[in-house]
Amino acid sequence: MLIKTLKGLKFFIKKDMLATSRGDFFKEFTFCPVFRFIVLLRFNEYLLNSKKILLLRVFFIFWYRRLGVRLGFSIPLNVFDYGLGIVHYGLVIVNTDARIGKNCRIHAGVNIGGSAGFKKKEDIKRYAPTIGDNTYIGPGAKLFGPINIGNNCVIGANAVVNKSFEDDNITIGGVPARIISKKGSKGMVNEI
C-alpha cells in the first residue's frame, strides 16, 4: 500500500504511533528521534508517491537520511506497510526489494537482505524477503534472499533465516533458522 494522499499519510502515522505505543504526536516528534525517523519515512514516501515539488523532496530526504545515519537505520522508502514499530535506535538494514506487511515490530541489529552472489536481479523473480503481517523481528535477526515469512510470526533473536517459512503463527529461531514453537506473535506486537 503506497501513501499517495494526505489522508493516507495521517492514517500511516496514526497506525505507526499505535504500533510503537506513542502518545502525543508533537511531544514524541520533538523528543524521540526514532519516532521522528518513522514520521520522516512516511512523509518522504508521501512526497515520492504523490510526485510533489522536487525542492521540497530534496530537503526532507536529506533530513531523513541524515537522521537515519545518526540512528543507524538504512530503511528505504515504500518497504514497510503501516504499523511499523522500531523499538529503539541501533543498526537496522533493509533491502530496497524487501516487502514487509502491516504491524511489524523490529529491533536493533536486524538485517533484511537480498540474495547472496552476483546474479542479476532480472534473472530471479524476487530478490529479497517478503514478510507477512503482525511480525515480531527480534534483535540481531538476519533474513536473506527471496524467502517468504507467514503472518503472525516471531523471528527470534540472532536467527539466521535463509529459507521460507510460510506457515502462520509460528516462532522461528536458530542458525540456520527452524520452527521452534507453534506460538505466534500475539502479545509481542501491539494490536492495531
* Ranges in the chain, pLDDT < 70: 117-126
Q: What's the whole-model pTM score?
A: 0.89
- Give the domain ranges of the chain: 6-72, 91-181
Instruction: Determine the pLDDT at residue 44.
Output: 95
Q: According to CATH, what is the number of the domain 91-181?
A: 2.160.10.10
Instruction: Determine the pLDDT at residue 119.
Output: 58
Q: What is the 3-state secondary structure (H, E, C) of the chain?
A: CCCCCHHHHHHHHHHHHHHCCCCCHHHHHHHCHHHHHHHHHHHHHHHHHCCCCHHHHHHHHHHHHHHHHHHCEECCCCCECCCCEECCCCCEEECCCCEECCCCEECCCEEEECCCCCCCHHHCCCCCCEECCCCEECCCCEEECCCEECCCCEECCCCEECCCECCCCCEEECCCCEEEECCCCECCECCC
Instruction: Determine the pLDDT at residue 123.
Output: 57
Instruction: Determine the pLDDT at residue 121.
Output: 56
Instruction: Determine the pLDDT at residue 157.
Output: 95
